[in-house]
Amino acid sequence: MAYSSKLIEQAITEVAKLPGIGKKSALRIVLHLLKQEPIETNMLARGLEELRENIKYCTVCYNISDDDVCAICSSHKRDDTLICVVEDIRDVMAIENTEQYFGRYHVLGGIISPIDGIGPEELNIESLVSRIDGNNAIEEIIVALPSTMEGDTTAFYLTKKLQNSNVKITGIARGVPVGSELEYTDEVTLGRSILNRTQL
Amino acid sequence: MAYSSKLIEQAITEVAKLPGIGKKSALRIVLHLLKQEPIETNMLARGLEELRENIKYCTVCYNISDDDVCAICSSHKRDDTLICVVEDIRDVMAIENTEQYFGRYHVLGGIISPIDGIGPEELNIESLVSRIDGNNAIEEIIVALPSTMEGDTTAFYLTKKLQNSNVKITGIARGVPVGSELEYTDEVTLGRSILNRTQL
């Protein structure tokens, strides 16, 4: 597309690099900003730059944090015997929102995906191993990774890595989601939900 | 949703103000930026701020421009007898992409929409009238506004406003889009396409 201004072309190119945003959405966003007061654009730009410059990762669990140790890791109210291993901080937020889990977390920062060039050494796996080795209080590791080939590979790798540790390794339950119809559930999930049935 | 960091919360709030982006997409965008090099975020922030600070609107047609007069208005190759009136610069780009129109443009900067508090005085209508009055070369005004109540209202207002000028006022053709099936076309469009049939 031909743009009437180099400035707008440059802004659109940058915005269109963001995930889930194509050239058309980028144009819409940029025109929206032009209709707003300049201060709105400044606040957006500042917010992103400040985040990028000042963000810290918790030195214990690698969650995003304003301090060296995140609020969850420094809380005295959380269960020290449990660590939930997740892919990224979105999963921490999702699990926190359930208000059903009171243990600690460990954020891997991704999952093993050879196709994207992500091997175990790119992830926070070694730190998880030494965290478990250095803390006798930990009794159980809950692997809460996506149910994909990459997620399963990572879970398998973690299990191997931790087999000599004295901790129980569990995975989150797979089954028919609450509120969904059996007939619309895929065969694999439905099959597993029967195999892993629970006592009522 | 509870965020583990004030910085991320602030960045997400700002990103989620953009059109078509909710909290979840904002989180995804922000996490994407965190995975990229800091320079990527800087370039995005710079691009938006520079655009907002330095952008100019063509003093003739109100298209976005790097100079006082845009490339289309300053071109000697365009037809001076035609002005195409559009809602915003996206429409200029869309029409330019057709490579079927070689006249000039006039960007209204919106359409009359009382519900959004946009009346004729918020739009570049007076400047269109004086542009036409001050230039005898102009023979035809093509109104290329959306076929909505607001678009039709604006077109009607323009027609009234320009009825004393010595110019022909036309509207773009409405009909069944090229390549689409008659049976899926709405009744109003199909009805109009029959009324406004053309000689083959």
Mean pLDDT over residues B148-159, rounded? Answer: 94
The answer, for B13 touching chain A at a CB cutoff of 8 Å, is yes
Q: B33: which residues sit within 8 A by CB, 6+ positions away?
A: A18, A48, A51, A52, B40, B41, B44
Number of H helices, E strands in chain A: 8, 6
Query: pTM (2 decimals)?
Result: 0.74
Nearest to A90 among B27, B40, B52 (CB): B27
Q: How confident is residue B176, by pLDDT bands cut at 50, 70 and 90?
A: confident
Considering only alpha carbons, which residue of chain A is nearest residue B11? A47
Q: Which of A138, A93, A85 is nearest to A109 (CA)?
A: A85
Per-residue pLDDT for B165 more than 90?
Answer: no
Mean pLDDT over residues A120-148, rounded? Answer: 92
pLDDT of residue B58: 92
Fold of A75-171: Dna Topoisomerase Vi A Subunit; Chain: A, domain 2 (3.40.1360)
Nearest to B31 among A42, A50, A89 (CB): A89
The full set of domain ranges for chain A reads 6-54, 75-171
Q: What average pLDDT does chain A have?
A: 90
Q: Which of residues 70-99 of B touch A (CB under 8 A)?
A: 70-72, 88-90, 92-93, 96-97
Mean pLDDT over residues A160-188, rounded? Answer: 88
Nearest to B52 among A41, A55, A65 (CB): A41
The answer, for B29 touching chain A at a CB cutoff of 8 Å, is yes
Which is more confidently placed, B181 or B41? Answer: B41
Q: How far is B21 from chain A (nearest CA, A)?
A: 9
Nearest to B30 among A21, A51, A65 (CB): A51
Q: Which of A62, A42, A181 is nearest to B53 (CA)?
A: A42
Q: Is A12 exposed, middle or buried (0-12, 13-18, 19+ CB in 10 A)?
A: buried
State the CATH class of domain B73-171: alpha beta
pLDDT of residue A134: 86
Considering only alpha carbons, which residue of chain A is nearest residue B48? A11
Q: Which of B146, B70, B171, B78 is nearest to A2 (CA)?
A: B70
**% residues pLDDT > 90 (chain A):** 58
Contact B54, A7 (CB under 8 A): yes
Give the ranges where B64-148 is alpha helix by DSSP (H). 71-74, 89-98, 126-133
pLDDT of residue A166: 85
Cβ–Cβ gap A51/B33 under 8 Å: yes
The answer, for A190 touching chain B at a CB cutoff of 8 Å, is no
Considering only alpha carbons, which residue of chain B is nearest residue A109? B35
Q: Which of A48, A136, A8 is nearest to B29 (CA)?
A: A48
Interface test with B, best of A5, A10, A32, A72 (most B CBs within 10 A): A5
What CATH number does the domain located at B6-54 have? 1.10.8.420
Per-residue pLDDT for B2 more than 80?
Answer: no
Cβ–Cβ gap A4/B42 under 8 Å: no
Residues of A in contact with B45 (CB under 8 A): 44-46, 48-49
Query: Tens digit of pLDDT for each residue in A32-41?
Result: 998 889 999 9
Cα separation, A162 vs A149, whole angstroms = 20
**% residues pLDDT > 90 (chain B):** 59
What are the percentages of helix, strand and coil residues in chain B, rounded to 5? 45, 15, 40
pLDDT of residue B105: 95
Cβ–Cβ gap A49/B45 under 8 Å: yes
Mean pLDDT over residues B50-73, rounded? Answer: 90
Query: Tens digit of pLDDT for each residue in A49-70?
Result: 999 998 888 999 999 888 889 9
Residues of B in contact with A96 (CB under 8 A): 2
ipTM: 0.77
Per-residue pLDDT for A87 more than 90?
Answer: yes
Q: How far is A2 from chain B (nearest CA, A)?
A: 7
Q: How confident is residue B151, by pLDDT bands cut at 50, 70 and 90?
A: very high
